[in-house]
Chains A and B, each alone.
Chain A
Amino acid sequence: MLLGIISSLLWWAVIIFIIVKLVSGGRKKHYSWLQRELPLWEEKNIINKEQGDAVLSLYKLKRVTARKKMDMVKVLTLIGVIFVGLGVIFFVGSNWQRIPSHIRATMLLAITIATLYTGYIFSYEKEGFANLGKSLLLLASLFWGGSIALIGQIYNIPTSENWYIILLWAFPILPIAILFKNDYVHILASVLLIIWNFLYSSDNNIANYYYPIIVFLLILPTAKNLILSRRINIIGLLSASFYCCFNKYEWLALLISAGLLAGYLARKEERVYLYSACLSFIFWNIAYFTVRQLQPNLFFLLPMGFMLYLTYKDNIEKNLVFCLAGLMIGTNLALSSVSQIVNYPFNGLQFIIFQSLLGISIYSAGIVSRNRGYLFPIIYKISGCLVTFICVYLLAFKALLEEWAGAANNAYLFGSLILAGIIALLMVDEKNSGNFKNKSRRIELAALVAALIGSIILLVSPRTVLLNTIAINSVLVVFALSSIFLGVELKKPPIFTLGILIFALFIITRYIDLTWALKEKSLFFIVGGLVILSIGTLLEKQRRKIIERMKPE
């Protein structure tokens, strides 16, 4: 079961990555390039300032101030400080015996305080050495870690209590990070607190509630102008929440999720809080499931509903992907709980079909959103398309169909049938409303109906492996053809190319699938290579021709 959860998380990680890249990746890269280049064009009098502003407003971009040039002295000082600090820690590690340990500890502590003093003098008493002072305060903080580690070594504090050493290092440097507003030490303290959290939890086998409380109440509020530290702490919180999934710390995950959500509500411009809150609520749901396997987590609907509300209200398209992932994982966990209550076995085939139907539902939501003018139809469509395609592609392997068809799980069966019913009703309603009149929409509908029929065939007759293989491979071909035709119809080369890719993938997979069992592997590769080369050349030639034809129009 846990393997299923992890694999579905991995799937979603891949899907989220692809969608985020598709939705914003390329555009963002071009936008930031444009933002950087515009001042240069204005400087060279290629365009004037008004034209520059017009270009920026066209793409809803802000004028960026010239990036600060990297200060070589600052960088070298910082590197030097880190080297000296690490050197001292390694020196402590080597447990050098020529000087008695207590004298060593006293000397190191004295050097630490002296460095702290020098750092203070250069930062606040002498003018013009602020950067050096800042770096020396970092060095003092590193020396402090060395001093504590040395005392721990002298008294043989066991490695199972390393969390205690790290805590004694991290806490006393916080006044420097916060009251002296030292960015470097703030980052060092944040990293140390993350390490402390994991060591504390793993060494004591208990949930560390102190960590999120410290981060939310002390670290994040004091990192207002320090984006790197905020990001590090959010990663720390997210990894702490993820750790909860495997250790049954459901309350800790809930606390972290609620804190991140509050962080977003307090700082709406920082959307990363909302994304992480959404992910953390997903981890909370998984942790809840591992603790109370027989109780479906209906409470999960509350934060997810609120997340969806915020996504629409604040128009944050990327967060919709996290919400969809959360709802999909949540539905699966709820069905798993129901299966365990009524003692239904796990059935891999039904599990994948259910995911495929969830994908089709998400795509259908995209169609409805487009037809009715709601937000984010593209996100729904890309997410639904990817989920459905991955499932159909997996189902197209005959060997897997044979292997997965086990004892029926009625929870997944009924769940799938309900989903299929909802999709069918939605599409009938859309058709009756006259929303499938033009050719491109009819092509889209054909692919959707094919996927629906394929899934239902597999669902109702899981034992007829040959029929199922033919049915699901036909769905894959319909996907490829509909994507090709849709690309031509809408004059969108990416959709057309996607169709070609699906088709090529289909041919390669089926070739491997059917001929891998042959004893003569050399023949397999030679013939396969030749076939792929010829088909590839042919398809590429045709693809270019068609894309060229699309351009002038």
Chain B
Amino acid sequence: MNKKLIFIAVSFLWIAVAVGLVISKQHIIRTGKTVFLETMPVDPRDFLRGDYVILRYKISTIDLRQIQSEESYYGQGKKVYVKLEPRERFWEVTAVKTKKPVSDNGIYIKARVKYCYNRKLELNYGIESYFVPEGEGKDIEKNMRGNKSLVEVEALVDTSGNAIIKKVFAR
């Protein structure tokens, strides 16, 4: 095969993959609606991408007895849609569905089931990491612990339920 052609094809592939990844995320930023979420952070380090703060949300654990739920048990790894509604300062869960209702214009955020035990559902929303400049993760955590304040996350959720972190700030 012509080597020059391979070089051109690989260059296009790389640019396409990188741009595609950026576009998919920019789409959420452009079309997403803002929600405010309550969190609790801890600070580890990612080998590939440096310091980051793990964000654990209040909406990550759901008691299925207190909300509307289509099922009483959800298998590990299952995709679900969680309906969020504003309650005072933060947005909270009001329903869990296996498919996003077409007629409902409310905000549904997509999640994966980590585990479900005793009608308690533990979920991952794909917004559990927030990357910070090297060394700052520990400082942020220390400050927050010292002030005993909570961390607030401003996230954007698009119409398909994909979410992205817009801003993280201490309250």
Contacts and interface: CB of A to CB of B under 8 A. Distances in A.
B14 A172 contact: yes
Given A94-B50, A96-B133, A155 B25 contact: yes
A148 to B, nearest CB: 7
A176 interface: yes
A197 to B, nearest CB: 16
Given A94-B50, A172-B17, A180-B3, A158 B77 contact: no
A373 to B, nearest CB: 55
Contacts of B50: 92-95, 153
Interface in A135-171: 144, 147-162, 165, 168
A549 to B, nearest CB: 62
B150 interface: no
B10 A172 contact: yes
A204 B78 CA distance: 9
Main DSSP-derived SS at the B contact region:
mixed
B25 to A, nearest CB: 4
A94 B136 CA distance: 10
B72 interface: no
B13 A175 contact: yes
Interface string B112-124: 1000000000001
Contacts of B112: 204
Interface string B1-25: 1011011011101110110011001
B134 interface: yes
B132 A144 contact: no
A95 to B, nearest CB: 5
A113 B14 contact: yes
Contacts of B129: 156-160
B49 A149 contact: yes
Contacts, number: 115
A422 B164 CA distance: 68
A218 interface: no
Interface in B1-56: 1, 3-4, 6-7, 9-11, 13-15, 17-18, 21-22, 25, 46-52, 54
Interface stretch (A116-124, A262-270, A352-360, A514-522): A116-124
B138 to A, nearest CB: 14
B127 interface: yes
Interface centre among A123, A144, A150, A152 (most CB of B within 10 A): A152
A416 B165 CA distance: 63
A155 B76 contact: no
A120 B124 CA distance: 42
A148 B20 CA distance: 11
A96 to B, nearest CB: 7
A175 B9 contact: yes
Contacts of B1: 179
B128 interface: yes
A133 to B, nearest CB: 11
Nearest to B54: A159
A148 B22 CA distance: 10
Contacts of B132: 95
B130 interface: yes
Contact of A158 (B17, B25, B127): B127
Interface residues of A, number: 43
B14 A93 contact: no
Nearest to B20: A168
A124 B3 contact: yes
B131 interface: yes
B11 A113 contact: yes
Contacts of B106: none
B103 to A, nearest CB: 31
Contacts of A95: 49-51, 131-134
A205 interface: yes
Nearest to B112: A204
Contacts of A94: 50, 133-134
Nearest to B131: A153
B147 to A, nearest CB: 23
A168 B124 contact: no
A97 interface: yes
Contact of B49 (A93, A112, A116, A179): A93
Contacts of B130: 156
A144 B10 CA distance: 11
Given A93-B49, A147-B18, A151-B21, A120 B7 contact: yes
Interface string A161-198: 11001001000100110011000000000000000000
A-B pairs with lowest CB-CB distance, top 7: A93-B50, A158-B129, A155-B25, A94-B134, A120-B7, A153-B49, A158-B128
Given A112-B14, A155-B25, A206-B77, 16 more contacts: A93-B47, A95-B50, A95-B132, A109-B18, A123-B3, A124-B4, A149-B48, A151-B22, A156-B130, A156-B131, A159-B46, A159-B54, A162-B48, A168-B17, A175-B10, A175-B13
Interface of A: 89, 92-97, 105, 109, 112-113, 116-117, 120, 123-124, 144, 147-162, 165, 168, 172, 175-176, 179-180, 204-206
27 contacts: A89-B48, A92-B48, A92-B49, A93-B50, A93-B51, A93-B134, A95-B131, A96-B133, A109-B14, A116-B10, A117-B7, A144-B14, A147-B18, A148-B17, A148-B21, A151-B25, A154-B25, A157-B126, A158-B127, A172-B13, A172-B14, A175-B9, A176-B10, A180-B6, A204-B77, A205-B76, A206-B77
